[in-house]
Structure 1
Amino acid sequence: MRLVVGLAGASGSIYAARFIRALSYLEGETFLIVSPPSLRIFSEEYETQVKTPEDILAFLRERYGLGDVHSFKIRNFHDIGADIASGSNAWDAMVVVPCSMKSVASIHAGFTENLIERAADVSLKERRRLVLVPRETPYNRIHLRNMLALDEAGAIILPASPGFYQMPKTLEDLGDFIAGRILGLLGIEHQLFPKWEG
């Protein structure tokens, strides 16, 4: 599996953290893009100091332990001329987790001023799977219209609304639920939470 993963400046760093952790144990490679607001939010929500995407990976390795099977390749948020800015480079799917409402609006409008938005635009035009994980509440009508338009364009909207039937005990359990739902949408089996048995 070859993925593009963007962290786009919304609250909910734990969702990105647990998704990255889950990926680290799977064969494949991920092009990782982290927005400057995501670095600030990650620092605040984890009560740490990260200044680069590499710092996030190092923090997650120390905090949770990361597997060594998956390859993470950092791409600069501001570099709209990067390799993954072109449809001539192939990847299987893109995930934006968490996804800010600003990113939702920009992707909907085709307004690509950074690499997350450009890679999402490429994913849509090349008919590749695009999963957006908004972490906002409540939604206003503009948010809802933008998300509906993206759904109609082929994106999958997966709100960061974890289920509770798995009886979560920690915040990490809630993060794993969303990470598992993303993996499921990518066709990847996982053991992050027990499946509903009925």
Structure 2
Amino acid sequence: MKLVVALAGASGSIYAARFLRALSEIPGESYFIVSPPSLRIFSEEYETSVSKPEDVLDFIQTKWKPELKHKFHIRNFHDIGSDIASGSNVWDAMVVVPCSMKTIASINAGLTENLIERAADVSLKERRRLIVVPRETPYNRVHLRNLLSLDEAGAIILPASPGFYQIPKTLDDLGDFISGRIFNLLGVDSELYPKWVG
């Protein structure tokens, strides 16, 4: 599995952290992009200090100690001339978790002012799977229109709205539910939460 994984400035660092923790234990490789606002939000929500993407990965490794089987290739958020800014490079899917409404609006409008937006644009034009995880509430009409347009363009909208039938015991359980749903869309059975059996 080869992914592009991006953190794009919304609250909900737990969803990114738990997804990256689980992804670390799956063989494969991913390009990893983190926006400057995401670093600030991650620091605030985890009451830590991260100033670069490497710090995010180090935090996850230190906190949960996953068995590392996945290789992360860090790419600069500002580098729209990066290798993954071109469709001539191939990846299986892109996941933006969490995804700010600004990023969703930019992708929808075809703006590519940073590498997250450009890689998402490439994913859509090359017909690769693009999964965005918005963490906003409530949605206004502009949000809804942008989300609908992205869906029509081929993206998958996975709101950060965890289910509760799993009877979560911790916040991590909620993060794992959303992470598990992302993996389902990637065709990976992660077993991060108990499946509904009826």
State yes or no: 1:35 paired with 2:35.
Answer: yes
Aligned residues between the structures: 198
Q: Separation in 2 of the partners of 1:55 and 1:151?
A: 33
Structure 1 stretches lacking a partner, 5+ long: none
Aligned-residue identity in percent: 76
Q: Match of 2:40, SS?
A: helix
Per the alignment, residue 78 of structure 1 pairs with: 78
Residues 158-196 of structure 1: CA deviation (Å, up to 9, x unaligned)? 000000000000010000000000000010011100110
Task: Note the C-alpha offset of 1:66.
Answer: 2.3
DSSP-derived class of the 1:108 partner: helix
TM-score between both structures, scaled by the size of structure 1:
0.99
Structure 2 unaligned blocks of 5 or more: none
Q: Match of 2:70, as an amino acid?
A: H
What is the aligned partner in structure 2 of residue 8 from structure 1?
Answer: 8
Structure 2 equivalent of residue 190 of structure 1:
190
Cα deviation, 1:91-132, whole Å, max 9, x if unaligned, reads 000000000000000000000000000000000000000000
Amino acid at match of 2:197: E
Distance in 2, Cα, partners of 1:66 & 1:94: 22
Matched, 1:99 2:105: no
Distance 1:88 1:25 in 2: 28
8 Å CA contact 1:21–1:67 kept in 2: the answer is no
Measured in 1, the distance between the counterparts of 2:105 and 2:67 equals 34
SS of match in other structure, 2:20? helix
Q: Is the 1:101–1:134 contact (alpha carbons within 8 Å) kept by the matching residues of 2?
A: yes
What is the alpha-carbon root mean square deviation over aligned residues? 0.5
5 Å-filtered alignment, 1:132-151, equals 132-151=132-151
